[in-house]
Structure 1
Amino acid sequence: MLTSYLMLLLFGCLTGITTVLFGFGGGFVTVPVVYGLWSVTAHSGADAMHVAVATSTAVMVVNSVFATLSQWRQGRLRREYIWPMAAFVLVGAVAGSLAATRIGDTALRVLFAAYLLATIADSLLRKGFLSVPRAREPRPLSRPARTLGGVGIGSVAACLGVGGSVMTVPLLRRRGLPMAEATAMANPLSVPVAVVGSAVYALAAPALHARAGRLGYIDLLACAALLGGSLPTIALARRAAARVPDRVHSVAYVALLVIVLLVMGI
């Protein structure tokens, strides 16, 4: 058991790096890692995907808020791309997290993989993500993108415990923002997803409440170990994103999604 939590601590460091560089808040690292641990422990894989998603949202609450404050101090956040979209993301997050508690574990895992596949294909096949013309001025978000798009992002992100960055980053990227700015904006947009998702998952699964170290579906011990690695890493790596070449940044984003898909065993 101690070895498992030491491994979570190390993966927490990776979570911190992906939070800073890609705006993930940890979701695409914590979900497969916690899922893998629960699948091979004495729990016999019971509710492994639900626990992974719930624990991911709890980690994202802290990571996203911490990263948002760091990026705000650096002047990298632009209000017009965050508000009022964040309010509609919040609405969608309520629906998505409630839906996740009613979806079977296998179905939730398949949806997670399908979401990854769709995002990878979209990033590779549609123009505007891997590179943005240098002379292109960033464009504002349309009303449908802020409203309906926000609700959709919140719903999917809360259901799968991924924070929404895999939809917000491509969306902002295609509005002409550099990767460093698009990923910076993903963190504040992940905060409402993480807060709502954590509250719903904490109140769900009453049978798990009696287990030590659990709060609903959230594995508190795993959450603490992941945060122990991620928070110091975010503090150390917060200036790194601005130094990564834009093309390398966007390619690395897609490559990480491919790796996560493979790790999930799809």
Structure 2
Amino acid sequence: MIDIFFASVLLGAVSGISAGLFGIGGGLIIVPILVMLFTQHGFAAELVMIMSVATSLATIIATSISSVWAHHRLGAVVWDKVFRLMPGIVVGSVLGALLANQMPKEVLRLVFLVYLVYAAINMALAHKPKPGQVAASKRVDNVAAVFAGSLSAILGIGGGTLIVPFLVHFQLPMRHAVAVASACGLPIAITSTISYVLLGRTVSALPEGSFGYVYCPAFLGIVLASIFTAPIGAKWANKIPSKQLKRYFSILLFVMAVKMLWSYQGMVSSHFTRLLHL
């Protein structure tokens, strides 16, 4: 427990800097590293992925609050849009947590792996969403909100990489799109975390220090460090060439994806071998 706490402090420092530097949520880094940590410390294999996702979402609550406040002070948050998206986001987050709880661990890991590769490619190519020609209808907003909430809850992310392109495509300026996505990340994190805590209450194989599927020592370590390092990353963002750094960061995401793919292949192979011996 203590080893994971100190490792999580380091993880929180890295994820906080990356969030400030690259403008992405910490889930992309937090989830795969927690998967490695939890596996090394002997957590039950069927719980490693879902606990990593749940713990990542719990940490996003703390980081989202400071981020939303900063965007609000700058007058960038379009609150009417946030409140329009929020019901769908809350419903989607609950659905995503319920779905993740029913997924086989191999499938949940594969879903995250695909998204990790997608995010790495987008960052390597410095892809920017292009504005569309029309504003979104209420129905389109509701469908997009449910989808973003569901996928974010499954992946353990704040949803910015899903929500920002959607908002920009439907004529919201990038500055406001980022702020709205940041504000939407808070209900995603809160609703998903509550769902994962409730879903994990009756699971008997959870390690000591767990609150539902959220592993508290890792949560505390990440939050304590990321609160202090996120502003550092934001300052560096104005001094360091971002395009080059994003390409380097995309390489890191690819490395983590390969690591997860390697272990995923091992899980599938062992599962297949057991089936052959039945």
Judged with a 3 Å threshold, the aligned counterparts in structure 2 of structure 1 residues 57 and 211 are, in CA distance, closer, same or farther, namely: same
Name whichever structure is richer in helix by fraction.
2
Contact 2:19–2:233 (CA<8 Å) still a contact in 1? no
Alignment of 1:12 with 2:12, yes or no, is: yes
Instruction: Assess, with a 3 A threshold, how the Cα gap between structure 1 residues 166 and 74 changes in structure 2: closer, same or farther.
Output: same
Match of 1:105 in 2: 105
TM-score by length of 2: 0.77
Which deviates more, 65-74 or 16-25? 16-25
Which range is displaced more, 98-107 or 48-57? 98-107
Note the alpha carbon deviations across 1:117-139, whole angstroms, 9 max, x for none.
455667889xxx72478xx7997
C-alpha distance in structure 1 between counterparts of 2:156 and 2:106, whole Å: 15
Q: Structure 1 regions of 5+ residues with no counterpart? A: none
Is contact 2:13–2:225 with CA below 8 Å preserved after alignment?
yes
Q: For residue 150 of structure 1, what is the aligned residue in structure 2?
A: 145
State whether structure 2 residue 230 is matched by structure 1 residue 229. Answer: no
State the alpha-carbon separation in 2 of the partners of residues 122 and 42 from structure 1: 34
Paired position in structure 2 for 1:130: 127
- Equivalent of 2:188 in 181, 186, 193: 193
- Cα distance in 1 for partners of 2:171, 2:230 equals 26
Q: 1:3 to 1:123 in 2, by over 3 A?
A: closer
Identity value in percent: 26
Deviation string, structure 1 residues 193-232 (Cα, Å, up to 9, x no partner):
1111111111223235874311111100000000111011
Partner residue, 1:114? 114
Report the Cα distance in structure 2 between the residues aligned to 1:139 and 1:239, rounded to whole angstroms. Answer: 35
Amino acid at match of 1:164: G
Query: Which whole-Å CA distance do the structure 2 matches of 1:96 and 1:172 have between them?
Result: 21
TM-score by length of 1: 0.80
Deviation of the 1:16 alpha carbon = 1.6
Counterpart in the other structure of 1:79: 79
d(CA) in 2 for partners of 1:83, 1:231 = 26
1:202 and 2:182 correspond: no
CA contact (8 A) 1:209 1:215 kept: no
Task: Tell me whether 223-232 or 252-261 shows the greater mean CA deviation.
Answer: 252-261
**Deviation of residue 249 (structure 1)?**
8.5
Call closer, same or farther: CA 1:65–1:172 in 2, change over 3 Å: same
Distance in 2, Cα, partners of 1:112 & 1:192: 21
1:66/1:143 Cα in 2 relative to 1: closer, same or farther (>3 Å)? same
Q: How far is 1:3 from its partner?
A: 4.4
Asked if structure 1 preserves the Cα contact closer than 8 Å seen for 2:206 and 2:213, the reply is: no
Q: Deviations over 1:16-35 (max 9, x none)?
A: 23333555442111111111
Report if the CA contact (8 A) 1:81-1:140 is conserved.
no
Two-structure CA RMSD over aligned residues (Å): 3.4
The structure-2 alpha-carbon separation of the partners of 1:144 and 1:24, relative to structure 1 and needing over 3 Å to count, comes to farther
Contact 1:58 1:223 in 2 (8 A): yes
Measure, in 2, the Cα distance between the counterparts of 1:264 and 1:75: 40
Give 1:8 deviation, angstroms: 1.5
Q: Deviations over 1:54-85 (max 9, x none)?
A: 10111111111221112212333233543311
* Residue 219 of structure 1, aligned match among 215, 221, 238: 215
Deviations 1:146-187 (A, max 9, x none): 111111111111122112122112223445667665444322
Aligned-pair CA distance for 1:6: 2.4
Q: 1:26 to 1:251 in 2, by over 3 A?
A: same
Aligned to 1:42: 42
SS in 1 for 2:102: coil
Relative to structure 2, which stretch is displaced further, 225-234 or 4-13? 4-13
Higher deviation after alignment, 235-244 or 78-87:
235-244
Whole-angstrom distance in 1 between the partners of 2:59 and 2:14 = 13
